[in-house]
Amino acid sequence: MAVAPAHPKLRRGYPLAVIAAGVLLVFCAVLPWAGLQATSGLIGAGVASDVRGIDDAFGVYTLVAGLAALGCGLAGLLSRPRLAALALVPGGAAVLVLVLFVTEGSGLRDRISIDLGELLSIEPVIRFGWFAALACALAIVLLAFMSLVGRR
């Protein structure tokens, strides 16, 4: 028994999703990724200094990976839907770069952490933009893989 081919609109779903995830990854590159936060229990206040993704080389690499994934999704949409699977490469690179942002020197490792009890506490923090960028990069990898092995 032969399997009927998927409806043409359904085959275009994965490339569209890769395009959307690529656009979101590009947007997440300009969001705050990390920061240094100082709080004081004595005065009940604190200050924070944020680092946007594109303020760092790893953020620029992530931006380029998002644009490449967007291009792969667009190629899959305009040509063969399986071309969207090429987004595995920039998606995987973005995941690697995001992990390197946190573990390498330009990430949080160089930031100081001081805890003087109620007087003063200074600590590095990871902001929501980094988590959103990681989610988008993982989504690109998953969607690109699904466009490769998805329903034929």
Segment 55-65, tens digit of pLDDT: 889 999 999 99
Residue whose entry in the numeric block shows the structure tokens 């988590």:
131
Q: Establish if 6 belongs to a structural domain.
A: no
Query: Is-contact 29 97, C-beta < 8 A?
Result: no
* Mean pLDDT on 94-115: 76
- Higher-confidence position of 129 and 3: 129
Sequence-separated (6 or more) residues with CB below 8 Å from residue 81: 11, 12, 14, 15, 147
Q: Establish if 138 belongs to a structural domain.
A: yes
Q: Establish if 79 belongs to a structural domain.
A: yes
Q: Establish if 127 belongs to a structural domain.
A: yes
* pLDDT single digits (tens) 9-39: 556 788 899 999 999 999 999 999 888 888 7
Query: Is-contact 144 91, C-beta < 8 A?
Result: yes
Q: Establish if 4 belongs to a structural domain.
A: no
Of the CA atoms within 13 Å of residue 72, those in its CB half-sphere come to 28
Query: Is-contact 27 123, C-beta < 8 A?
Result: no
Q: For residue 61, what are its two tokens?
A: 């690499």
Which strands sit side by side in the sheet containing 32-40, from one edge to the other?
A: 45-52, 32-40, 121-126, 114-115
Q: Establish if 8 belongs to a structural domain.
A: no
Query: Is-contact 22 73, C-beta < 8 A?
Result: yes
For residue 123, what are the domain limits? 13-149
Q: Establish if 139 belongs to a structural domain.
A: yes
CATH number where 19 lies: 1.20.140
Q: Establish if 120 belongs to a structural domain.
A: yes
Q: What is the pTM of this model?
A: 0.82
Give the count of domains, the chain: 1
